[in-house]
Amino acid sequence: MNKGLFRSLSVLTVLSAALAGCSSGGVQQTPAAGQTADSSGKKADAPAAGTAAPSAKGPVKVSVFVSGSGVPTPDKDPILQELNKALNMDLEFNVATSDYAQQLNVKIAGGTPPDIFEVTKVQLEELAKQGLLLDLAPYIEKMPNVKKTYTAEDLTKGKVGGKQYSLLKRGLQQQNALWVRKDWMDKLGLKEPKTLDELKQLLVAFTEQDPDGNGKKDTYGLTGVGDFTSINAFSPIFAAFGVPIPGNFTIDTGKVTYSTTDPRTTEAIKYISELIKLGVVDPELMANKGLKDQQKAFQGLAGAIYRAWGELAKDNYVADYKKINPNADWQPIGALTGPGGTFGGFYDEGNVFGRIALPKSLEKKPEVLNKVLEYLDYITEPGKGQTLVNFGVEGKHYEMANGQMKLLPAISETAYAFQVQLTGRTEGPYLKTKFPNQAKYIDFTYNLPMVKTYTGLVSNPAGVVVDDKNRFEQEEVIKFMYGKRPISEYGQFIDTLNKTYQLPLYMQEADKALKSLGYIK
């Protein structure tokens, strides 16, 4: 749970930031269409007094501010141009490439908030407390596409204190699975493992029976990545015991539980420790960074890896490992059955692409507010604008034939499209359109049964140093797995979490958050 802290700027801080200036290099400025800029990139002065004002029926100016990169200038942005044309809108779409939270604070504190802006969960809660956000609940009826497409749970994830202060950026579905070298299984006469015992047999065989046939003992059963989420490599194992990896909130019989303190976690750790003692786990797993584990898997150094389909099944990755070994065949396996049931891993119900919010001050600008609502509704399914922000312009970036969409080479011009999908997308159909060769893997991973967690919906309690707690927790769990600390001391470890790292405060916060969102009573 690595969550950043968002703090309101004091007047002094705001003034200092304003005096220092928000470097224009940190924001990709996309001026409203028709707006000019001087040689420094700054907006031109407003028309002098006496100059005729734009017609009331002219395009309505709307400003958007999000974090990210890659959005082109208006003259090279086909999506923005089509949005403006379709909605009679003059859209200024600014993307902060750095220091987004600080820049947003300065805009809000200065009385010039964007009409639409991105917020993290922590920012959402802080701004809502200050009364700076517009409650969107009364306006949902004015957005029929939003009303139709957003589920009750989607809307709930945008609420604070029961009020609809944000809209979820939809999408982000489960994509992970345990992948294995099917060609190795076939060579060794092994079947796909269905249970933890069968998984152990598979990993031992991949380690001991020379699956690559080079006459050397140079392969391992399982590899993974060793950053701060290193335990993720063992997610399918924890899941088969009925728990997510340590450090996650779950709900059991209507009550909040914490995976680290769940007795089933110690049983999972014992199983993992046995695998490590057997020598079937990549000994460098904890040192692997980035895609190092993927590279090892492709090089034939390991036969199993827990990763997203996009990191093993995309055409470019398949080509990569086929260059090394044309016979290599990486395939996902189904959920493993263990003492806790049949699960493929865990998935956090709090996982979101992001959230968007509107300033309360927009109430005083009804023309702009109405245009913002029209805009958000237009880019939400089943609105025509959803196709536009997903795939660009018909005839240029895609074409339709017999009801099927075919992407054209120019689709590469819309690589920034994610930034403009403010209300998100329906992920499955979108991914299968973008990656038709991977459709079966997209469906397979999405349909795996997963242990549900709720960590992303819980804020950190005030006054704690969450990084210290997370670091201690991870380091100690790894010690137990690798035999550096006896499992008999697990109770002492929990005592330290409770007393030194204030775990009860986290539990209280989780209970409060999940009750307010309606997940528990």
Q: Are 342 and 335 in contact (CB under 8 A)?
A: yes
Q: What is the DSSP letter of 344?
A: S
pLDDT grade for 231, boundaries at 50, 70 and 90: confident
Give the number of C-alpha atoms closer than 13 A to the C-alpha of residue 94, restricted to the C-beta side.
Answer: 26
Sequence-distant contacts of 205-213: CB under 8 A, at least 24 apart: 206/181, 206/280, 206/302, 206/303, 206/304, 207/278, 207/279, 207/280, 211/181, 211/184, 211/187, 211/303, 212/184, 212/300, 212/325, 213/187
Q: What percent of the chain has pLDDT over 90?
A: 84
- Which amino acid type is present at position 336? L
SS3 114: coil
Question: Distance between CA 204 and CA 209 in Å, rounded?
Answer: 8
Residue 46 has pLDDT above 90, yes or no: no
Q: What is the CA radius of gyration of the chain?
A: 26
Q: CA angle, corner 366, sides to 133 and 376, nearest 5?
A: 65
Read off the pTM. 0.85
According to DSSP, the β-strands at 89-96 and 27-28 are antiparallel
Q: Do 11-34+58-172+353-422 and 176-349+460-516 come out as alike in CATH topology?
A: yes
Q: Are 66 and 30 in contact (CB under 8 A)?
A: no
Summarize pLDDT for 440-499 with one digit per residue, the tens.
999 999 999 999 999 999 999 988 999 999 999 999 999 999 999 999 999 999 999 999
DSSP string, 288-316: --TTHHHHHHHTTSEEEEEEEGGGTTSHH
Residue 17 has pLDDT above 70, yes or no: no
- The pair of structure tokens assigned to 395 is 């005839």
Per the listing, tokens 């947003």 go with 104
Query: What is the model's pLDDT at position 226?
Result: 77
The whole-number average pLDDT for the span 504-509 is 97
The whole-number average pLDDT for the span 153-171 is 94
pLDDT grade for 180, boundaries at 50, 70 and 90: very high
Question: Distance between CA 471 and CA 455 in Å, rounded?
Answer: 16
Q: Are 267 and 246 in contact (CB under 8 A)?
A: no
Q: Pick the range with the lowest mean pLDDT from 11-20, 54-63, 290-299, 426-435.
A: 11-20
Q: Pick the range with the lowest mean pLDDT from 37-46, 66-75, 86-95, 409-418.
A: 37-46
Looking at domain 11-34+58-172+353-422, does it have CATH number 3.40.190.10? yes
Pick among 3.40.30.10, 3.30.70.360, 3.40.190.10, 3.40.50.720: CATH of 176-349+460-516: 3.40.190.10
- Please tell me whether the peptide bond between 382 and the residue prior to it is cis, using omega within 30 degrees of 0: yes
The whole-number average pLDDT for the span 31-46 is 40
329: region left, alpha or beta (phi > 0 left; psi from -120 to 50 alpha): beta
Q: Are 352 and 345 in contact (CB under 8 A)?
A: no
- The pair of structure tokens assigned to 145 is 């596409």
Question: Distance between CA 466 and CA 1 in Å, rounded?
Answer: 8
Query: What is the model's pLDDT at position 43?
Result: 39
Q: Are 32 and 114 in contact (CB under 8 A)?
A: no
Query: What is the model's pLDDT at position 70?
Result: 86
Domain range summary for the chain, segments of one domain joined by +? 11-34+58-172+353-422, 176-349+460-516
Residue 227 has pLDDT above 70, yes or no: no
- The pair of structure tokens assigned to 307 is 């990763």
Residues 252, 258, 264, 265, Cα dihedral to 10°: 150
Residue 119 backbone phi and psi in degrees, to 5: -140, 145
Q: Pick the range with the lowest mean pLDDT from 12-26, 171-185, 303-317, 401-415.
A: 12-26
- The pair of structure tokens assigned to 420 is 């403009």
Question: Distance between CA 167 and CA 170 in Å, rounded?
Answer: 9
Q: CA angle, corner 56, sides to 53 and 61, nearest 5?
A: 85
Range 242-265 burial, b when 16+ CB lie within 10 A, else e: bbbbbbbbbbeeeebbbbbbbebb
Q: Pick the range with the lowest mean pLDDT from 53-67, 118-132, 268-282, 422-436.
A: 53-67
Question: Distance between CA 336 and CA 196 in Å, rounded?
Answer: 6
Query: What is the model's pLDDT at position 36?
Result: 37
- The pair of structure tokens assigned to 32 is 């409203």
Tell me which H or E stretch contains 256.
strand 255-258
Q: How many other CB atoms are found less than 10 A from the CB of residue 146?
A: 23
